[in-house]
Structure 1
Amino acid sequence: MKKPFSAQIFTVTIMVMLGLFSGINFAFAQSNNPGPKIGIKGGLNLSQLYVDQPNVENESMKMGIHFGLFSKIPINNYVALQPEVLYTNTGSKVSYGGSDFENVFGIETGEIRFNLNYVQVPVALAVNLGPLNVHAGPYLAYLLSANVKDWKSSETSPTQVRELDTKDFNKIDYGLVIGAGFDIKAVNVGARYNYGLRNVGKEGLAGNLTDNSKNAVVQVYLGFGF
């Protein structure tokens, strides 16, 4: 297993993006248009991979978190561009079974938990209808770390699934986001759906276990603007 990404790298990334957002804010402040709102946001992830594989007995959502920075850059009084930089963890809980499962994959039957951690950059177009906003757009994400654990029914603690880790999953993910939220003064609250368009697993064991599944994530968030 590779070690999780460096906290220093993540801190530098956040500082760089904060500087970029601050620069955008300053530039808009010099114009006649209102400057963009920048802020921090975070919340809950409910993710699933929707594995379509004959040995799958059950799938359930994995709970995770996301947090990061956002900005709303006005285009006019009703439309704004909303770029974000987020740390987000996704995955799924999949129960495998069948008499041939262990022979084919070398893994005991039981629940396997996929844990995938990304830096995600969504860029949405937001339409403002009073305090309500609806937004949609593409996202690009980079896989920071991954681990997969096998929870067997006869055990109380998980074991690592063979040698599966970050290198067994595609580093780049991309897809679409769509959501709605409310802006109440400096507070932003809402929900969003992330629809992945890139296969999560590479060829080999990871690809066979996930069967070309893609990320599907529901996010509920709370943000504070400046």
Structure 2
Amino acid sequence: MKKLMLAAILITGFGMSAQNASFGIKGGLNYGATGDYETFSDVSGDFTSSFEKGEDKTGFHAGLFAQFELLGIFIQPELMYTELNTEYSAFDYKLSKIDAPVLVGINILGPLNIKAGPSFQYILDNKIKGSDLKIEDVEKDITVGYQLGAGLDLGRLGFDVRHEGSFQDNFAEGGNIAEDSGFTIDSRPSQWILSVSYAL
């Protein structure tokens, strides 16, 4: 009997989730930077290194989302294409990636909600602009960070503000063999994300 009751509860829950499911498109701007830029050289046995933080710049994102709600709590998976730009003293660093956040949220007051969860990042391309320096692929294609923020739902239209951070570093290497020098850039971003969504 207990197993039957549990099965009935699960079936009811999934049914309610399906009835409260929505899907849509979203896009917007992101403002932030990737991690530290470290340079190092070994000239005549004299090893030196230095660190530089990147300057925040504006990028963009666009993609799809789904939302499954039950008793005021919702799960919101997304699939987003993101371009992020960071300015360092010697060049600009451009990163394009696929973001797949899976957020858990709760409606707290009327149309207002809060949400947080892991964000999976898959690097599509990274490159340096405005310099002859060459950069290699990032160390890991897929890394995990987090997103947290708040949203406002007005009918089919939604507005989001979030912060994204990282749990781990993910370095890309480059350098100049002739000058016995090199560098690394941490590709994981710290950024603010502003989005507008539309439920279909």
- Please report the TM-score for the alignment, with normalisation by the length of structure 2: 0.75
Q: Work out which structure has the larger RCO, using CA pairs closer than 8 Å and 6 or more positions apart in sequence.
A: 2
Q: Shift in Å at residue 172 of structure 1? A: 1.3
Task: Measure the CA separation in 2 of the matches of 1:57 and 1:121.
Answer: 29
Identical residues among aligned pairs (%):
26
Question: Which SS does the other structure have where 1:217 is aligned?
Answer: strand
Task: Measure the CA separation in 1 of the matches of 2:52 and 2:103.
Answer: 36
Q: Shift in Å at residue 80 of structure 1? A: 0.3
> Which one-letter code corresponds to 1:90 in the other structure?
L
Q: Say whether 1:82 aligns with 2:57.
A: no
Q: Shift in Å at residue 40 of structure 1? A: 0.3
Q: Which structure is larger by alpha-carbon Rg, 1 or 2?
A: 2
Distance change in 2, residues 1:58/1:139 (3 Å): closer
Q: Of residues 31, 41, 44 in structure 1, which corresponds to 2:26?
A: 41
Q: Which runs of 5+ in 2 are unaligned?
A: 1-11, 39-48, 176-181
Question: What pairs up with 1:195-210 in 2 under 5 angstroms?
Answer: 195-202=165-172, 205=175, 208-210=183-185
Q: Shift in Å at residue 56 of structure 1? A: 5.0
2:45 matched to which residue of 1?
none
Q: Say whether 1:68 aligns with 2:66.
A: no
> Which one-letter code corresponds to 2:77 in the other structure?
P
CA contact (8 A) 1:47 1:63 kept: yes
Q: Which structure carries more helix by proportion?
A: 1
Task: Measure the CA separation in 1 of the matches of 2:99 and 2:168.
Answer: 14
Task: Measure the CA separation in 2 of the matches of 1:172 and 1:199.
Answer: 11
> Which one-letter code corresponds to 1:148 in the other structure?
I
1:190 matched to which residue of 2?
160
Q: Which runs of 5+ in 1 are unaligned?
A: 1-27, 96-109, 150-157
Q: Shift in Å at residue 213 of structure 1? A: 6.2
1:20-62 C-alpha deviation (Å, 9 max, x unpaired): xxxxxxxx9x935533111000000112124275645663112
1:135-174 C-alpha deviation (Å, 9 max, x unpaired): 000011111111112xxxxxxxx23422x14x24531121
Aligned residues: 171
Task: Measure the CA separation in 1 of the matches of 2:160 and 2:141.
Answer: 28
